[in-house]
Amino acid sequence: MKKIKRDVYLQMKPVEEAQRAFSNRLNLDGYLKPETISAQEAAGRVTAGPVFAKFSTPGHHLAAMDGIAVRAEATFETTVDRPRELHIGQDGFFINTGQIMPEGTNAVIMIEHVMTVDEKTVRIEAGAYPWQNVRKVGEDIVATELLLPQNHLITPYEIGALLNGGIFDVAVKEKPRVLIIPTGSELINPQALDSDSLPPGRVVESNSAILGALVEACGGECRTHPIVADVFEEILEAVRSAAHGDAHIVMISAGSSAGSEDYTASVIRQLGEVLVHGVTMMPGKPTVLGIINDRPVIGNPGYTVSAIMAFEQFTQPLIYQMLGLQQPERPMVKVRAARKMASKLGLDEFIRVKLGRVKDTIVASSLPRGAGSVTTLTQADGIIRIPSHVEGVLDGEVVEAELLRELKEIENTVVVVGSHDNTLDVLANQMRVKDCRFGLASSNVGSLGGLIALRKGYCHAAGCHLLDTETGVYNISYIRRYLPDLRVKLVNLVYREQGLMVSRGNPKGIAGIGDLARDDITFVNRQAGSGTRILLDYRLADLDITPENIQGYDQEEFTHMSVAVTVLSGGADTGLGIYAAAKALGLDFVSMVTEEYDLVIPEAFFEDEKIQLMLEAMRSGAFRDLVDKMGGYDTSKTGTVLASL
């Protein structure tokens, strides 16, 4: 096997510079050949040349109304006082809508304005003017006129124009063919799975399906090569064959980074020319742009979000350029950052955010930034691009966001910030079930973070489970301390079972908080300010255990599910969280306490239509049934207003 030198990013290019370097190097004139297809199948295709009408429409003068066809000039001076009688077949002709006008006629008097005298005679009491209620020849289309220009995306409406203009076959550009070559010895085709679990060390190959759908959405045609293992010679041969085949664009999925088995740049260099290796953007930094046999070849990063972002910056513009179309732009909107978003200097960073309108401001909360977390895109409402010369976005700063959803949908979203609970996802779904116009977006910053967000006007509600250790009462004392000037209602969402999540079978015999101080126990914590963290610290103080005595006290996660994943993966022996999270991942659970989880809602929002819908969904039997099935919850007071403060 040939030994390949590791390829590192020596000269990363800014996004726009990389786009120009790629676009300017390609000669795309006549790159796509014309093909003739039925006009009835032409919607969504791009014209290969100008299209001129063969027929006029209408081809004859036609009646636009049911009535009597007449020569208008013969009816002048007709009034109620001076009615005129018309003889059928001589100076008046019965006619229906769409029929050809009899020779010598140029107007239609509506049947409602005609009185019958006898079988051969009718009376009218008002005259007509020339071409009244008549569709003249060529009123819609005149033969030889331009119907569609070259490089025009044909819409469904225009199918009618083509057919009425006598165009039954139309020349369109062939669809840009994109061949995706997935690489990686760890990949497995989803169709090859014969069980409900993945073999150890294997990963479902999903990037080609995602990228293929994106290609189709741009007007291209996607083909997928069988998975190629991380073997240089095999990748080389696959790319060589693709570059000499009929694909217009070759995309190599994964292997574009600088690892010991990342061969994409080396393969392109050996077969052609590397124009760019490394782009100053996150996600998407390892992108490779090159040319082989006069064909564009793109090395897309393997992490899913990076792959999507790289596609949108490089492959998508290339497809539109080939088609001769202007790339559609997503709408931009001014948003206020709910909290600081740090960024690295020297890199354009694309931050996925949740959005919602609170009073007169659209508030943005950042989602996790993992390049492999495709759910951060499925959950995102928008993207904030932080330029390479800026270190980040400050708390409360107003910036622009690119919208991924309709603005109306964002304006109808209830923004909940604070402590994490799995039932918020169920509630969001039930709101959609009740009324598809409305939704819920939650951001996990801990209970105290939620109250602070309310105080700053960044959300409609805060999720809280803050225990007052002196009184044993949840949330009320904290609301009075942090929201002294804000009138709110405290609404119970659920009571939930909180405890220690442990591996199945509890192999280390963990029985309670006291065991966290053992030398053989590692712990995963929740972030400071979360209700779970406050509960933990209270129990530790009660047992006279200091954080220094706990291995992993400083290892923090922001959600109960993240804690559960850490325990499941062996990153910790135990973590404090809710029973529903442990049950969802098949962990065992050591129960500690039943706690109150509430939503804090300002009175100013309480009568808002979307808040009322949320409360209606929360109080529904369907919601309670779904929550009860999750386990570890008590819904007996769900939707109850516990206090007005």
Decide if 449 contacts 418 (C-beta within 8 A): yes
Whether a cis peptide bond, with omega within 30° of 0, leads into 58 is yes
Counting DSSP H helices and E strands in the chain, the numbers are 18, 38
Query: Mean of the per-residue pLDDT values for the chain?
Result: 91
Task: Quote the pLDDT of residue 1.
Answer: 41
Q: Where are the beta strands (DSSP E) in 359-485?
A: 361-366, 382-386, 392-393, 398-403, 413-418, 439-444, 461-464
Tell me the per-residue pLDDT of 404-456, one tens digit each, with 9 for 90 and over: 999 999 999 999 999 889 899 999 999 999 999 999 988 888 899 999 999 99
Asked if residue 512 has pLDDT above 80, the reply is yes
Alpha-carbon distance of 227 to 244, in angstroms, equals 19
Please state the rounded mean pLDDT for residues 533-543.
89
What number of other Cβ atoms are within 10 A of residue 235's Cβ?
Answer: 21
Lowest mean pLDDT segment, chosen from 46-55, 123-132, 233-242, 556-565: 556-565
Tell me the per-residue pLDDT of 186-225, one tens digit each, with 9 for 90 and over: 998 888 887 777 778 888 899 999 999 999 999 999 999 9
Tell me the pTM.
0.83
Task: Quote the pLDDT of residue 446.
Answer: 87
Task: Quote the pLDDT of residue 378.
Answer: 82
Asked if residue 260 has pLDDT above 60, the reply is no
Amino acid at 86: L
Tell me the per-residue pLDDT of 575-597, one tens digit each, with 9 for 90 and over: 999 998 899 899 999 999 899 99
Any bridge partners for residue 501, and if so which?
A: 575, 589
Please state the rounded mean pLDDT for residues 53-60.
92
Please state the rounded mean pLDDT for residues 156-162.
95
Task: Quote the pLDDT of residue 501.
Answer: 94
Tell me the per-residue pLDDT of 335-353, one tens digit each, with 9 for 90 and over: 999 888 988 888 899 999 9
Q: In the Cβ-directed half-sphere of 189, how many Cα atoms lie within 13 Å?
A: 10
Name every residue whose Cβ is closer than 8 Å to that of residue 105 and which is 6 or more positions away in sequence.
69, 70, 71, 93
Task: Quote the pLDDT of residue 3.
Answer: 46
Alpha-carbon distance of 62 to 372, in angstroms, equals 63
More confident residue, 1 or 346: 346
What number of other Cβ atoms are within 10 A of residue 345's Cβ?
Answer: 10
What is the helix (H) or strand (E) element at residue 500, kind and residue range?
strand 488-502
Alpha-carbon distance of 455 to 450, in angstroms, equals 9
Q: 2: pLDDT confidence band, cut at 50, 70 and 90?
A: very low
Q: In the Cβ-directed half-sphere of 486, how many Cα atoms lie within 13 Å?
A: 27
Tell me the per-residue pLDDT of 388-407, one tens digit each, with 9 for 90 and over: 899 899 989 999 999 999 99
What is the helix (H) or strand (E) element at residue 110, kind and residue range?
strand 107-110
Q: Is 87 exposed, middle or buried (0-12, 13-18, 19+ CB in 10 A)?
A: exposed
CA 204 to chain centre: 22
The CATH topology of domain 34-57+139-173 is Molybdopterin biosynthesis moea protein, domain 2 (3.90.105)
The CATH topology of domain 431-644 is D-Maltodextrin-Binding Protein; domain 2 (3.40.190)
Name every residue whose Cβ is closer than 8 Å to that of residue 439 and which is 6 or more positions away in sequence.
409, 412, 413, 414, 428, 431, 432
Parse the chain into domains and list their residue ranges.
15-29+176-323, 34-57+139-173, 62-135, 334-411, 431-644
Task: Look at phi and psi of residue 398 and say left if phi exceeds 0, alpha if psi is from -120 to 50, else beta.
Answer: beta
Please state the rounded mean pLDDT for residues 111-130.
91
**pLDDT more than 90, % of the chain:** 76
Q: What is the DSSP string of 274-334?
A: EEEE-BSEES-TT-EEEEETTEEEEEE-SSHHHHHHHIIIIIHHHHHHHHT-PPP---EEE
What is the length of the chain? 645
The listed CATH number (3.40.50.620, 3.40.50.150, 2.40.340.10, 2.130.10.10) that belongs to domain 334-411? 2.40.340.10
Q: 379: pLDDT confidence band, cut at 50, 70 and 90?
A: confident
The listed CATH number (2.170.190.11, 1.10.150.120, 1.20.1090.10, 2.60.40.1170) that belongs to domain 62-135? 2.170.190.11
Please state the rounded mean pLDDT for residues 372-377.
72
DSSP state of 177: E
Task: Quote the pLDDT of residue 9.
Answer: 54
Task: Quote the pLDDT of residue 372.
Answer: 62
Alpha-carbon distance of 108 to 102, in angstroms, equals 11
Q: What is the DSSP string of 615-628?
A: HHHHTSHHHHHHHH
For the four alpha carbons of 420, 422, 425 and 428, in that order, the dihedral sign comes to negative
Domain 15-29+176-323 indexed as CATH 3.10.690.10: no
Name every residue whose Cβ is closer than 8 Å to that of residue 510 and which is 6 or more positions away in sequence.
500, 502, 521, 573, 574, 590
* Token output for 173: 């550009």
For the four alpha carbons of 498, 504, 505 and 506, in that order, the dihedral sign comes to negative
Alpha-carbon distance of 506 to 291, in angstroms, equals 56
* Token output for 429: 């779904």
Task: Quote the pLDDT of residue 196.
Answer: 74
